[in-house]
Amino acid sequence: MARAPLSALPVKARLDAARPHFADLPAGRLEYADVGGGPPLLALHGALGGFDQALLLAMAAFGDWPARRILAPSRPGYLGTRLETGRSPEEQADLYAALLDYLGIDAVDVVAVSGGGPSAILFAARHPARCRSLVLISACMERLVIPQEYQGRFETMLRMTRHAPVRWLMALTGRFAPEGGIRRSIADEALCRRTLADPEAGPLIRALQFTVMSRLTLRMPGLVNDTACCAALEDLPLESVQAPALVVHGTGDRAVPFAHAANAMKRLPQARLLAIEGGEHVCLFTHIERVRAAVARLSGEG
């Protein structure tokens, strides 16, 4: 019997089926997933991420995989990529270019979320011939003071991951009862219910919560590095981004303020803004159809 295509599997099964690869690059070993076919897309996760969350980002923003080849690296400090492979956003941007060299790929579309924003922008600016288009979703694009709500949550998670029984319990909660964590991310109760009930967004955001709560010790070095980098971020070369860009941001984002998007729009030469009124940091999931439609329009133009 022929095996079902990856896109026909439930979301969690897709993640389980997407085994990571390792590229030995000049800067070090980089973990990445490589799935699907068609024009290549580089998906860059945010804080508490890894290649699994990068795949979820691509699934949420672009829909099914068959039409795209998804390259989903674990950024340095996450899962199987050591932090020493590239601590700074500049080093990470060059790491992506080295991955393309390793795979023999000339150029990619890029989608990045949250803490993946700085290195995505720098990749587009430092390697303009290799970036066909750029999608920035709830992305950090200037110096960021981590809100106390999130800083406290990160510090609590860091303390909890030092105890094996607590790590096991957190992973179990993420797998079987993810709704509590999701409700902390979506303040509007009615919107939260609609998102969880949505046949597309619901499974994706549940899988996201599961990945956040699993293998936490392998995500913490990247989280600590990302928060430090974002807090010390220098002026990003937005004017040097030649590729057409789409900026998606919720006006109610409590993690990365909407001002990041508004300020970036004044400087990005070829950018469109999708402002999600009242949307929060997870607006990719709460407003998935609007985001996908905007991404499809950009892809059609690219």
Helix axes 148-160, 164-176, angle to 10 degrees: 120
In this structure, of 59-73, 110-124, 241-255, 261-275, the range with the lowest mean pLDDT score is 59-73
User: What is the β-pairing status of strands 271-276 and 245-250?
Assistant: parallel
* Closest among 54, 120, 132, 129 to 93, alpha carbons compared: 120
Q: Does residue 167 surpass a pLDDT of 60?
A: no
Q: How confident is the model at residue 4 (pLDDT cuts 50, 70, 90)?
A: very low
In this structure, of 93-97, 184-188, 255-259, the range with the lowest mean pLDDT score is 184-188
Q: Does residue 202 surpass a pLDDT of 50?
A: yes
Domains, the chain, with CATH or none: 6-301 (3.40.50.1820)
Per the CB < 8 A criterion, the answer to whether 92 and 75 are in contact is yes
Q: Does residue 171 surpass a pLDDT of 80?
A: no
* pLDDT tens per residue, range 6-56: 455 678 778 878 889 999 999 999 999 999 888 999 999 999 899 999 999
pLDDT of residue 168: 47
Question: Is 274 strand, coil or helix?
Answer: strand
Across residues 107-111, what is the average pLDDT? Answer: 98
Give the integer Cα–Cα distance in Å for 9 and 216: 25
Better-scored residue on pLDDT, 170 or 17: 17
* Closest among 48, 65, 74, 49 to 11, alpha carbons compared: 65
Q: Does residue 175 surpass a pLDDT of 60?
A: no
Give the integer Cα–Cα distance in Å for 276 and 146: 21
Across residues 127-156, what is the average pLDDT? Answer: 86
Per the CB < 8 A criterion, the answer to whether 46 and 56 are in contact is no
Q: Does residue 172 surpass a pLDDT of 80?
A: no
- Whole-prediction pTM: 0.89
Across residues 260-264, what is the average pLDDT? Answer: 98
Average pLDDT of the chain is: 88
List, as one string, the DSSP characters of 152-214. HHHHHHHHHTTSHHHHHHHHHHHHH-THHHHHHH---HHHHHHHHH-TTHHHHHHHHHHHHHS
Across residues 124-134, what is the average pLDDT? Answer: 98
pLDDT of residue 67: 79
